[in-house]
A and B are shown apart, each in its own frame.
Chain A
Amino acid sequence: MKKIFEAPKSLKDNLFHYCPGCGHSIIHRLVAEVIDELGIQERTIGVPPAGCAVLAYNYFDVDTGEAPHGRALAVATGLKRVLKDHVVFTYQGDGDIAAIGTAESIHAANRGEKVTAIFVNNGTYGMTGGQMAPTTLPGMGSTTTPGGRDVVRDGSPLDLTQMLATAKGSVYLERVSVATPKGIRKAKKAIKKAFQVQLDGLGFALVEVLSPCPTNWKMDPVPAYEWTEKEMTKIFPVGVIKDITGYDKD
């Protein structure tokens, strides 16, 4: 019998702890598939965040070093400066990369650190129970925005990836969504490209992934996926935000 589908080598044989319908499981798999396809498992170091993906070391079968909340890109800088021939990636949520770690993100991008950042945007602090995130949409409910996010009271969603585009050292920035099969295929392509940028030593690369959080959005998985596709993309449109790689467009 011919095996036509199997788990990626770069994923450990552990059951995901993520909630039903959570986008993390899909994104983990995409990252692992890319690591397999590029043949870099033996020289990849992952830097998981604080947040729901804090347990990512249970899943990625690569060396991993845990960063304090928001500091993943500083830790990744230290790792990559020592291990220049290795592949270093961070895996961070919106609170991690776009609130507490904003400074570390902008300056890692500005220095053109040759690392890859996977930025999972689900518009909420999932691990701590659904508080307002920097990316929470206007009107969107959270446990710290009674009546929904009020932009006058709470500020507007922050588009970190757009901000990073102004940094000279960022080479490739793309926003994708894992809410549809088509989106998932695009997300994988983008993640692969972001790793390729690092392998080619071009500079900083980041993929922002819009990802549903049915539990904290208080939605069933199917409506949560539909909401991601319809509502989140209004504020965070998917597509290439910056690409100065010089690679052929496809």
Chain B
Amino acid sequence: MGEAAVRAGCRYYFGYPITPQNEVPEYMSSRLLQVGGTFVQAESELASINMVIGAAMAGARVMTSSSSPGVSLMQEGISYLAGLELPAVIANVVRGGPGLGNIAPAQSDYFQATRGGGHGDYRTIVLAPDSCQELCDLTVKAFDLADKYRNPVMIMGDGMMGQMMEPVEFPEAIDLAELPAKDWTLTGAKDRPSRVILSLLLNPKVLEDHNFKLVRKYDAVTREETDWEEYMLEDARQVVVAYGTAARIAKGAIKRVREMGLKVGLLRPKTLWPFPDKPLKDLTRVVRQLLVFEMSAGQMVEDVRLAVEGQAQVHLYGRPGGVIPTPDEVAHQISHYYYQAGLMDKDQQSGRQGGAA
């Protein structure tokens, strides 16, 4: 992630140590030196995110990273980033919670990430990679999206991804000079009137207009940037919905149940906000059984239920607390609901009909 960020033109990193993501600040502290960038170890996550605000005001590609308790502290700044319309990348390597919780991989910050987390009417774009390669690719994309929409972008990983080692193909480093110029940054009022970047809009009508402007931006993000992966959906009678590490485990489980003849596929949201509502809703024309698997007690399941508008049965297999279920455990859940819904019988019926035809 650190190297991908540098290749995406990130030259400023502000952060505070917290497990399980210390590899990122450690890497950035030396790597940014090599490329003439700046690394500051701040006194808190609160300070880090506000340093990010300052660097973003100055027009830099800037990031911070943390893990759950630290990201809670950053929520004030993320709300300001959204209100001030500043681009920045925040990585949350999610660990078990609430409170201090533990340092094991979890997905329990889903609500915090996708609902904004801080105060006010705003949205954070949330990207959820499921491998080191995708973590690298989505980090680059995060900087582009942040600049394109002048909005904070969160990369939501987990402790598994934070500690995993996989071969990665890095993209070519971008040329910072080729990025589109930003015409709103604070660079000194030389040969132009002075500029102000503020989120204080005391007049309710003016703030309402600003909020609606943000809503139009979020609508555009939803139209243009919603992203997901479809895996073995062609003939699926039951579909697992999972993201990140959970999706990888689910793929293993699906391979196993496929060997037993169960027609199961996976829909993996790559953007948690905007959420892939439409592909899920479209799916319900042929699939009536969904199983949401998440490493949290039941958060994304609410978005799935909203998306399918009652057109499918939505079951939950939620494992909070930093527990990483095995593919076998997930496979067990899949087959349980598969049989319960009588899908096996339908498979046999359609198999007989197919044979007769």
Interface residues of A (CB under 8 A from B): 12, 41-45, 47, 54-55, 57, 60-68, 71, 74-83, 86, 103-104, 106-107, 111
Given A43-B190, A78-B62, A103-B43: A65 touches B50 (CB 8 Å cut-off): no
User: Does the CB pair B198–A57 fall under 8 Å?
Assistant: yes
Chain A residue contacts of B279, Cβ below 8 A: none
Chain B residue contacts of A57, Cβ below 8 A: 196, 198
Chain A residue contacts of B189, Cβ below 8 A: 41-42, 61-63
Contact for B55 among A12, A68, A79, CB less than 8 A: A79
User: Does the CB pair A64–B196 fall under 8 Å?
Assistant: yes
Measured CA separation A78–B185 after assembly (Å): 13
Chain A residue contacts of B50, Cβ below 8 A: 67-68, 71, 74-75, 78, 104
Chain B residue contacts of A103, Cβ below 8 A: 43-44, 46-47
User: Does the CB pair A65–B43 fall under 8 Å?
Assistant: no
Chain A residue contacts of B43, Cβ below 8 A: 103-104, 106-107
Does B22 lie at the interface of the complex (its beta carbon under 8 Å from any beta carbon of A)? no
User: Does the CB pair A78–B52 fall under 8 Å?
Assistant: yes
Most buried by A among B60, B77, B196: B196
B interface residues, tally (CB under 8 Å): 39
Measured CA separation A12–B12 after assembly (Å): 33
Chain A residue contacts of B84, Cβ below 8 A: 65-66
Most buried by B among A80, A81, A83: A81
Measured CA separation A57–B198 after assembly (Å): 9
22 pairs, A vs B, C-beta closer than 8 Å:
A43-B188, A45-B57, A47-B54, A55-B200, A62-B194, A63-B194, A65-B57, A65-B186, A66-B84, A68-B77, A74-B48, A74-B54, A77-B14, A78-B12, A78-B50, A82-B12, A82-B58, A83-B187, A103-B43, A103-B47, A104-B43, A104-B50
Measured CA separation A49–B190 after assembly (Å): 24
Chain B residue contacts of A81, Cβ below 8 A: 12, 38, 40, 51, 54-55
Measured CA separation A37–B91 after assembly (Å): 44
Instruction: Give the shortest distance, in Å, between B79 (CB) and chain A (any CB).
Output: 9
User: Does the CB pair A68–B80 fall under 8 Å?
Assistant: yes
Most buried by B among A60, A62, A63, A67: A63
User: Does the CB pair B55–A82 fall under 8 Å?
Assistant: yes
Measured CA separation A107–B44 after assembly (Å): 10
State the 3 A-B residue pairs at the shortest beta-carbon distance, nearest first.
A78-B54, A74-B50, A82-B58
Interface residues of B (CB under 8 A from A): 12, 14, 38, 40, 42-44, 46-48, 50-60, 62, 76-77, 80, 84, 186-191, 194-200
Measured CA separation A68–B73 after assembly (Å): 13
Contact for A82 among B47, B60, B77, CB less than 8 A: B60
Instruction: Give the shortest distance, in Å, between B107 (CB) and chain A (any CB).
Output: 28
Instruction: Give the shortest distance, in Å, between A59 (CB) and chain B (any CB).
Output: 11
Shortest Cβ distance from B55 into A: residue: A78
Most buried by A among B40, B84, B186, B198: B186
Measured CA separation A74–B62 after assembly (Å): 14
Instruction: Give the shortest distance, in Å, between A109 (CB) and chain B (any CB).
Output: 11
User: Does the CB pair A44–B57 fall under 8 Å?
Assistant: no
Given A64-B194, A65-B57: A75 touches B200 (CB 8 Å cut-off): no
Given A82-B58, A104-B43: A66 touches B198 (CB 8 Å cut-off): yes
Measured CA separation A106–B43 after assembly (Å): 9
Shortest Cβ distance from B62 into A: residue: A78
Q: A66-B84, A78-B51, A82-B38 are in contact. List 10 more A-B contacts (CB 8 A).
A: A42-B190, A47-B54, A60-B194, A61-B189, A63-B188, A68-B76, A75-B53, A78-B56, A80-B54, A82-B60
Chain B residue contacts of A75, Cβ below 8 A: 50-51, 53-54, 57
Most buried by B among A43, A54, A75, A106: A75
Given A78-B12, A78-B14, A78-B53: A66 touches B199 (CB 8 Å cut-off): yes
Measured CA separation A216–B70 after assembly (Å): 37
User: Does the CB pair A79–B57 fall under 8 Å?
Assistant: yes
Chain A residue contacts of B57, Cβ below 8 A: 45, 65, 75, 78-79
Instruction: Give the shortest distance, in Å, between B225 (CB) and chain A (any CB).
Output: 26
Contact for A71 among B47, B60, B190, B194, CB less than 8 A: B47
User: Does the CB pair A45–B200 fall under 8 Å?
Assistant: no
Measured CA separation A70–B44 after assembly (Å): 13
Shortest Cβ distance from A42 into B: residue: B190
Measured CA separation A223–B226 after assembly (Å): 63
Instruction: Give the shortest distance, in Å, between B200 (CB) and chain A (any CB).
Output: 6
Measured CA separation A111–B189 after assembly (Å): 28
User: Does the CB pair A79–B186 fall under 8 Å?
Assistant: yes
Instruction: Give the shortest distance, in Å, between B88 (CB) and chain A (any CB).
Output: 10
Given A78-B54, A78-B58: A45 touches B186 (CB 8 Å cut-off): yes
Measured CA separation A55–B198 after assembly (Å): 10
Contact for A63 among B14, B47, B195, CB less than 8 A: B195
Most buried by B among A41, A61, A83: A83
Shortest Cβ distance from A55 into B: residue: B200
Chain A residue contacts of B51, Cβ below 8 A: 74-75, 77-78, 81
Measured CA separation A81–B38 after assembly (Å): 7
Chain B residue contacts of A43, Cβ below 8 A: 188, 190
Chain B residue contacts of A62, Cβ below 8 A: 188-189, 194
User: Does the CB pair A63–B187 fall under 8 Å?
Assistant: yes
